[in-house]
Structure 1
Amino acid sequence: MAILYTLVARGSVVLAEFSGTPTNASTVARQILEKTPGNNDMNVSYSQDRYIFHVKRTDGLTVLCMADDVAGRRIPFAFLEDIHQRFVRTYGRAVLSAQAYGMNDEFSRVLSQQMEYYSNDPNADRINRLKGEMGQVRTVMIENIDKVLDRGDRLELLVDKTATMQTNTLRFRKQTRRFRSTVWWRNVKLTIVLILLILVIAYVVSAFVCHGLTLPSCL
C-alpha cells in the first residue's frame, strides 16, 4: 500500500485518523501538527527514510498522510484534496467545534476506503492527470522531518514488517510445494522411462538369446 496512514485535524486536535499498518506514524504526525502552528494554507512534505509525510492545510483544516516515497507527490496530494473535500462536505461547520476524534467512528471508514483506492487503483492517477488539479504540488517543499521537529537525534519511523514477512512466508511455502510437485513428477517420469528401458533391454536380450529358436522352446 502506497499510502499507509492519514489523519484529519483542526489545529492540533485530531478529528479522525486511520492507519493501514501498525506504525508510530500517529506519534510523528502529532509532532508535525505541533511544530507547524497557525492557520495559513500550506502544502508541504517531510521525508523520513523511504517514507514521506504529506501535509495539506486549507482554511484551518489539516489533512496529513504518510506514504512510501515511490508514491511521488501527485497521488498523495490528490488523496489529501479528496479527503478534505469529503470531510468538509460531510460535516460542514461542525468541524469548527468538534471534539477530538469526534468524527473518527464514521470517517475512519472513508479514510480506509480512499487510502485503498489511491494506493492500488491505477484509475486514481489517470483521473488526476486529466483533471490537472494538482499543479500546485510542483512547488511543495520537501524537508527532512528531523529538522522540522528540532530533534538532535535521529527520529526512527517504525513500520511493522509482520505483514510483509507473512506474505513472504506464504510465497515461500507455495514455491516449496510447487518445487516438490515438480520433483515428484520428474521422478515418476524417470521411473517410467527406466521401466520402459528395462523392458526394451530385456526384449532385445531375449531376442538375441532365442534367435533361431521357436518362442515356446525359448521360454
Structure 2
Amino acid sequence: MTIAYSCIANGRMVLAELALTGGSYQEAASTVLRLVLLRAEPKTVIQMGSFVYHTLFIDGITYLCASDNALDTVTPSAFLKNVKYNKKQDNSSISTLRSQVTDVKNAMTQNIDKILESEERSNIFPDSTDDLQTAVKESQKTRQILRRIWWKHFKKIIIITVAILLSIIIILLTTNVIPI
C-alpha cells in the first residue's frame, strides 16, 4: 500500500501538497475537497479512478491523502492523524505567523485609510483654489468699479471747484474788485 498524494487545504484552497508518484491529482483532489465541504463530516473515504481518497476534516482544514489500495484504511487514517498531530505541535510558530500576518494586515489597512484621507483632503483643495480664484476675480472687478466711481466723483469735484472759482472771478471782475 502506497500513499501517492497528500495535501492540506483550507476550504477548497490547497495550502500544501505532495505527490509521491507521478500523475495529476489536482483535479481529483479539487472534486474530493468540494465533496468534503458539502458533507462536512470529520472522516470521508471516496473512490475516484484507481485511487481511494481519505480525508480528515477538522475546523475547516481538510487533510487529504490518496491511496492505491482500497482495502487498507488503517494506514491512511494513521497518516492523516500524524499530519494533523504535527500541525498541532507546531502551533506556536503558526500562531506567531498568524499574528505577523494580522499585524501586516492592520498596517496595510491603516495605510489605505491614510491614503483615502489624504485623497479626500486633496479633493478639497481644488475647490478652495477655485473659490480663491473666484474671490480674486471679484475683488479685481470691485476695485475697478470703485476706481471708476472715484474718478467720476473726482471729476465732479474738479468741475465744481473750477466752476466756483470762475464764478468768483467773474463776480469780482464785474464788481471791479479786480481791475481789468
Q: TM-score range with shorter-chain normalisation? A: 0.3 to 0.5
The TM-score with structure 2 as length reference comes to 0.47
The TM-score with structure 1 as length reference comes to 0.39
- Specify the structure having the higher radius of gyration (Cα): 2
Question: Which structure: greater helix fraction?
Answer: 2
**Higher-RCO chain (CA-CA 8 Å, sequence separation at least 6):** 1
